[in-house]
């Protein structure tokens, strides 16, 4: 059975914003300047010619940030788009944000840091209650090992984890190695793993992973092939540690594969909308993706196994239009807030004028001395 493997939608809040924006005067005709600080690999995958061409048509200009020069001496920027690691860069951005509050920084460096550790990455998901949204979302049981491989077996036993276990590096630093994983079939193999790492219980999920891209308030879902299910016979006869590359980023998509409809069925829209809203709020991020699986044999039991900041949007169908619309919406939102503030100020001014001014005991909103 051939299924359409992607779905894109926006929540009701975004639709209301669009309706409200119709009443606004048009934005000033000027370029939207986006300064970007990305690795060469990310520049190649993200800033593709089609994206830059569409951006120019929409009045968006991407400008590379020179990391050898002070950031405040560059620009001016309307938006700073970044995905670099290191405490020095984080401090540069934090200082810049304080000096230039009018510039939107995508995203706050302290919020991004939360996703660079797999121990803290899934904390926001573990205590979510989405049972009223057409499904349940949780995280696989896991334990963190920071050092000493000989302590792994004891830690796994105390945590009550069941084999097989997926081993992932604790720190996510953007390198290919930080996204590699291993599957441990037996207890004796656990001591061969290399801490610091996270051990997660493996959940059979039909060999299909759902990659949920978040761009502001827009959600797009695609299928990817994942690790195959493990049966009892394989578990009894299996031994050792099997290492895998970055599985969810494999070039082969599951969108056009002949899959069992129960396995291939995308997570329900209301569930994903609620999940995205909650994670945006809890994480304080607008650009990220969620790797989700459905427990095999169920229709409504889902697990989040990874969250990544500023993922490979170049692999997301139609990302050029989605991303440029998102950038324009940020400016529209700021413009709307400025107009609202000006309207509120003008209304207060006329109210004060009509009432003959303010009393001496009050604080003047117009910043004028009371008479």
CATH number of domain containing 99: 3.40.50.11370
Indicate whether 218 and 276 sit together in one domain.
yes
In a shared domain, residues 89 and 44: yes
Does the residue 214 lie in any domain? yes
* DSSP codes joined into one string, 347-367: HHHHHHHHHTS--TTSPPTT-
Look at residue 10 in the predicted model and tell me its pLDDT. Answer: 54
Residue 7 in any domain: the answer is: no
- Residues 127 and 82 placed together within one structural domain of the fold: no
Within a domain: 357: no
Q: CA 131, CA 2: separation in Å to the nearest integer?
A: 30
Residue 16, in any domain of the structure: no
| Together in a domain, 150 and 44 | no
Instruction: State the virtual CA torsion across 40, 46, 50, 51 in degrees, nearest 10.
Output: -120
**Is 179 inside any structural domain?**
yes
- Cα 122 to chain center, whole Å? 12
Query: How many whole angstroms separate alpha carbon 119 and alpha carbon 207?
Result: 24
Q: How far apart are CA 98 and CA 128, in angstroms?
A: 32
* One pLDDT digit (tens) per residue for the chain, 371 residues: 334 445 555 554 444 444 344 334 445 557 899 999 999 999 999 999 999 999 999 999 999 999 999 999 999 999 999 999 889 999 999 999 999 999 999 999 999 999 999 988 998 888 787 767 788 999 999 999 998 898 999 999 999 999 999 999 999 887 778 888 899 988 888 988 999 999 999 999 999 999 999 999 999 999 999 988 998 777 767 678 888 766 555 445 666 666 788 888 999 999 999 999 999 999 999 999 999 999 999 999 999 999 999 999 999 999 999 999 999 999 887 666 555 555 555 555 455 455 555 544 444 444 444 44
118 phi/psi in degrees, rounded to 5: -70, -10
Residues 170 and 259 reside in one and the same domain: yes
Encode 195-217: b = buried (16+ Cβ within 10 Å), e = exposed: bebbbbbbbebbbbbbbbbbbbb
* Residues contributing to the annotated binding site: 42, 83, 118, 168, 179, 200-211, 226, 291, 306, 308, 312
- Evaluate whether residue 225 is within a structural domain: yes
Q: How many CA atoms lie within 13 A of 44 on its CB side?
A: 3
- Of the three residues 74, 89, 106, the one that is the final residue of a domain is 106
* Per-residue confidence (pLDDT) for residue 202, from 0 to 100: 96
Q: What is residue 218's predicted lDDT score, i.e. its pLDDT? A: 96
The DSSP line for 334-350 is HHHHHHHHHHHHHHHHH
Query: Measuring CA to CA, how many Å separate 10 from each of 214, 310, 312, 342, 364?
Result: 10, 19, 20, 29, 42
| Same-domain pairing of 311 and 189 | yes
> For residue 324, is it within any domain?
no
Same domain for 92 and 198? no
- Does residue 118 share a domain with residue 70? no
Q: Which two tokens stand for residue 201?
A: 């219980």
Annotated binding-site ranges for Mg(2+): 291, 306, 308
Q: What is the pLDDT of residue 127?
A: 79
Give the residue ranges of the annotated binding site for ATP.
118, 168, 200-211, 226
Beta carbons within 8 Å of 48's beta carbon, 6+ residues apart? 314, 320
CA angle 37–38–44, rounded 5-degree value:
135
Q: Into how many domains does the chain fold?
A: 2
Model pLDDT, residue 21? 40
Q: What are the strands, taking DSSP E only, across the chain? A: 6-10, 32-38, 60-64, 79-83, 104-106, 136-138, 142-145, 165-169, 181-184, 197-201, 208-215, 218-225, 241-244, 287-294, 301-309
- End residue of a domain, out of 76, 106, 136: 106
Angle (CA) 202 175 324, round 5°: 95
Please list the alpha-helical segments (H only) found in 58-215. 87-99, 109-113, 118-121, 123-126, 152-159
103 C-beta neighbours (distance < 10 Å), count: 17
* pLDDT attached to residue 131: 67
Same domain flag for 127 and 99: no
Give the containing element (helix H, strand E) for 328: helix 319-355
Q: Which of 106, 130, 154 lies at the terminal end of a domain, its last residue? A: 106
Considering the domain architecture, whether residues 163 and 284 belong to the same structural domain is answered as: yes
The pLDDT of residue 237 is: 73
Residue 240 lies in a domain: yes
What are φ and ψ of residue 129, in 5° steps?
-120, 95
Asked if residue 262 and residue 152 are part of one domain, the reply reads yes
Under a CB-based contact definition with an 8 Å cutoff, are residues 204 and 295 in contact? yes
Residues flagged as binding site for 1D-myo-inositol 1,3,4-trisphosphate: 42, 83, 211, 308, 312
For residue 18, the model assigns a pLDDT of 44
What Rg, from alpha-carbon coordinates, does the chain have? 24
Domain of 237 in residue numbering reads as 114-316
Q: Kindly report the CATH number assigned to the domain that includes residue 287.
A: 3.30.470.20
* One domain, residues 44 and 164: no
């Amino acid at each position: 059975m051939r299924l359409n493997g992607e779905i894109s939608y926006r929540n009701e809040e975004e639709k209301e914003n669009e309706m409200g924006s119709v009443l606004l005067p048009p934005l000033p005709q000027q370029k939207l300047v986006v300064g970007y600080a990305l690795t060469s690999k990310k520049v190649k995958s993200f800033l593709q010619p089609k994206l830059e061409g569409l951006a120019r048509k929409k009045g968006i200009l991407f400008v590379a940030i020179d990391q050898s020069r002070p950031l405040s001496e560059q620009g001016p920027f309307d938006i700073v788009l970044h995905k670099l690691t290191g405490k020095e860069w984080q401090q540069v951005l934090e200082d810049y944000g304080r000096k230039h509050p009018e510039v939107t920084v995508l995203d706050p460096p302290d919020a991004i840091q939360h996703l660079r550790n797999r121990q803290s990455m899934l904390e926001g998901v573990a205590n979510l209650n989405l049972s009223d949204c057409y499904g349940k979302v949780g995280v696989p049981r896991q334990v963190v090992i920071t050092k000493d491989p000989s302590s792994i077996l004891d830690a796994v036993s105390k945590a009550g984890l069941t084999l097989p276990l997926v081993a992932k590096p604790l720190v996510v630093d953007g390198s290919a190695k930080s996204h590699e994983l291993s599957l441990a079939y037996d207890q004796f193999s656990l001591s061969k793993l290399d801490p610091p790492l996270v051990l997660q219980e493996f959940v059979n999920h039909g060999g299909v992973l759902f990659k949920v891209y978040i761009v502001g308030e827009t959600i797009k879902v695609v299928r990817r092939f994942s690790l195959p299910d493990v049966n009892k016979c394989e578990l009894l006869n299996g031994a050792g540690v099997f290492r895998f590359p970055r599985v969810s980023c494999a070039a082969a998509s599951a969108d056009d594969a002949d899959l069992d409809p129960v396995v291939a069925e995308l997570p329900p829209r209301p569930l994903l909308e609620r999940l995205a809203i909650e994670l945006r709020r809890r994480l304080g991020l607008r650009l990220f993706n969620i790797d989700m699986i459905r427990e095999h044999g169920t229709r409504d039991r889902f697990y989040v196994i990874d969250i990544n900041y500023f993922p490979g949007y170049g692999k997301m169908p139609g990302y050029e239009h989605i991303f440029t619309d998102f950038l324009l919406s940020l400016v529209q939102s700021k413009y709307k807030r400025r107009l609202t503030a000006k309207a509120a100020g003008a209304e207060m001014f006329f109210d004060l004028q009509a009432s003959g001014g303010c009393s001496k005991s009050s604080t003047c909103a117009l910043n004028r001395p009371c008479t």
